[in-house]
Structure 1
Amino acid sequence: MSNPGPVHLRRVDPSQNMQRFYSLSIQPTLFGGASLVRDWGRIGTRGQSMVETFDTGGEADQAMKRLERKKRHRGYRDAFSSQPKR
């Protein structure tokens, strides 16, 4: 498993009063599997969390990449980029 680092995304659209965050990370389980941890919500709030457990790290990695691709397609961008916010 090539455990990628956590992914922190955000989507800000002032015209729609939208300020959202979405975070993905993979953590090992006690039984040799891996868990995909998702956190999301409005920026400035605690938000919600979900943990999905997989038998192998590879499965968790694939799920993380799929979710990241889906969120980027919906307009989410890197939260800690050096580009100015619009």
Structure 2
Amino acid sequence: MDAAFLGSENLSVPKPEPEPLHLRRIDAAYNMRRFYALSTQPTLFGEMSLIRNWGRIGTSGKTMVQTFDDRAEAIEAFVGLERAKRRRGYAVMDEKTALV
């Protein structure tokens, strides 16, 4: 293919779906042990759902499902929520650093 041809076309590469995300916020001084989980899932009608689950560690917590017409909107909401939670002190904890 010609380089001029490739540059003239507006090719948008679709963003990959984010992996499910599990965040925790633990602060013993405030007796705080919280979790926040995010994931995306396609619906049967071609839409994209953003699934949020949050609560105290050890409970099932609450769940909210938001459905978006556009896949990019769902991913944008996912990234925005992740950013907001990380600013509030939530972090990914692996098995080695998890507190029991």
Give TM-score scaled by structure 2 length: 0.80
What do residues 6-35 of structure 1 show as CA deviations (whole Å, max 9, x unaligned)?
010000000000000000000001111100
- Of structures 1 and 2, the one with the larger relative CO (CA 8 A, separation 6+) is 1
Which structure is larger by alpha-carbon Rg, 1 or 2? 2
Return the match for 2:76 from 48, 62, 76. Answer: 62
Give TM-score scaled by structure 1 length: 0.92
| Unaligned stretches of 5+ residues in structure 2 | 1-14
Percentage of identical aligned residues: 54
For 2:17 and 2:77, the matched residues in 1 are separated by: 12
Return the match for 1:33 from 44, 47, 60. Answer: 47
Residues 1:23 and 2:37 are matched in the alignment:
yes
8 Å CA contact retained: 1:8, 1:80:
no
| Unaligned stretches of 5+ residues in structure 1 | none
Count of residues in Structure 1 that have an aligned counterpart in Structure 2: 85
